[in-house]
Amino acid sequence: MLYYSIVFLLIALVAGLFGFVGIAGVATGIAKILFFVFLIAFVVSLIIGRRPRV
């Protein structure tokens, strides 16, 4: 998921460089959403992994 976030960020940078502002904005929004979903999944996996086995 972090990979896709980085890919969309690169797409946004390239689109912004070439002047496609609409595409750059959409790609940036998708990259932000994917990054935050990755962070939430990472924190949840850390919490679940540290839970003692019963």
CB-CB contact of 5 with 31 (8 Å): yes
Whether pLDDT at 53 is above 80: no
What pLDDT sits at residue 50?
Answer: 79
Q: Where are the alpha helices (DSSP H) in the chain?
A: 2-17, 21-50
What pLDDT sits at residue 54?
Answer: 72
What confidence tens digit (pLDDT) does each residue in 9-52 have?
A: 899 999 989 999 898 999 999 999 999 999 999 999 999 887 77
Q: Which amino acid is at 13?
A: L
